[in-house]
Structure 1
Amino acid sequence: MSYNNILSEQNNGITTITINRPKKLNALNKATIQELHEAFKAADNDANTKVIIITGSGEKAFVAGADISEFADFNVNQGQELAAKGQELLFDFVANLGTPVIAALNGFALGGGLELAMAAHFRIASDNAKMGLPETSLGVIPGYGGTQRLPQLIGKGRAMELVMTAGMIDADTALNYGLVNHVTTLDELIPLAEKLAGKIMRNSSVAIRSAIKAVNANYEDGVNGFNVEVEEFGNCFGTEDFKEGTTAFLEKRKADFPGK
Structure 2
Amino acid sequence: MYDYQTLRLEAQGAVLFVTIDAPPMNLIGPELVRDLVSLIELLDRGEPYRVAVFRSADPDFFISHVDVTKVSAYRAEAARLTGEASIALLFRRLAETRAVTIAQIEGRARGAGSEFVLNCDMRFGARGRAILAQNEAAFGLIPGGGGAQHLVRMVGRGRALEILLSADDYDADLAERYGWINRSLDREEIGPFVAALAHRIARMPATGHAIVKERINAISLPPVEDYRRDSDLFGEGVTQVAAQRRIHAALDRGFQSREAEIEAGKLLGTLPD
TM over 0.5, yes or no? yes
Q: Which runs of 5+ in 2 are unaligned?
A: 224-273
TM-score, normalization by structure 2? 0.73
List aligned pairs for 1:162-201, cutoff 5 A. Answer: 162-201=163-202
Give the match for residue 95 of structure 1.
95
Task: Tell me how far apart the structure 2 counterparts of residues 143 and 46 of structure 1 sit (CA, whole Å).
Answer: 27
Deviations 1:91-138 (A, max 9, x none): 001111121000111110100100000000010011121111001102
Work out the number of aligned pairs and report it.
216
Q: Distance in 1 between matches of 2:215 and 2:126?
A: 30
TM-superposed CA distance for 1:221, in Å, is 7.0
Q: Unaligned 5+ residue runs, structure 1?
A: 73-77, 223-260
More displaced 10-residue stretch of structure 1: 1-10 or 95-104 = 1-10
Bigger Rg, structure 1 or 2 = 1
Name the counterpart of 1:35: 35
Cα pair distance change 1:176/1:57, threshold 3 Å: same
TM-score by length of 1: 0.76
Q: 1:175 to 1:65 in 2, by over 3 A?
A: same
> Is the Cα contact below 8 Å between 2:104 and 2:190 reproduced in 1?
yes
Matched, 1:67 2:61: no
Task: Report the CA distance between 1:152 and its aligned residue.
Answer: 1.1
CA RMSD of aligned residues (A): 2.5
Q: Does the alignment pair 1:107 with 2:96? A: no
Moved over 6 A (4+): none
Q: Residue 155 of structure 1: CA displacement? A: 0.9
Q: Which moved more, 1:118-127 or 1:37-46?
A: 37-46
How big is the shift at 1:33? 1.2
- Tell me the alpha carbon deviations over residues 16-44 of structure 1, each in whole angstroms, 9 at most, x when there is no partner: 11211241x21111221121121132134
Aligned residue number for residue 133 of structure 1: 134
CA contact (8 A) 1:114 1:133 kept: yes
| Partner residue in 1 for 2:212 | 211
Post-superposition offset of 1:190: 2.5
Distance in structure 2 (CA, Å) of the matches to 1:208 and 1:164: 36
Instruction: Tell me the residue number matched to 1:17.
Output: 18
- Secondary structure in structure 1 of the residue aligned to 2:86: helix
Partners in 1 of 2:23 and 2:192 — Cα distance? Answer: 21
**Per the alignment, do residues 33 and 187 of structure 1 end up closer, same or farther by CA in structure 2, a change over 3 Å counting?**
farther
Identity %, equivalent residues? 25
Q: Retained in 2: the 8 A contact 1:15–1:43?
A: no
Q: Which structure exhibits the higher relative contact order, with contacts defined as CA atoms closer than 8 Å and separated by 6 or more residues? A: 2
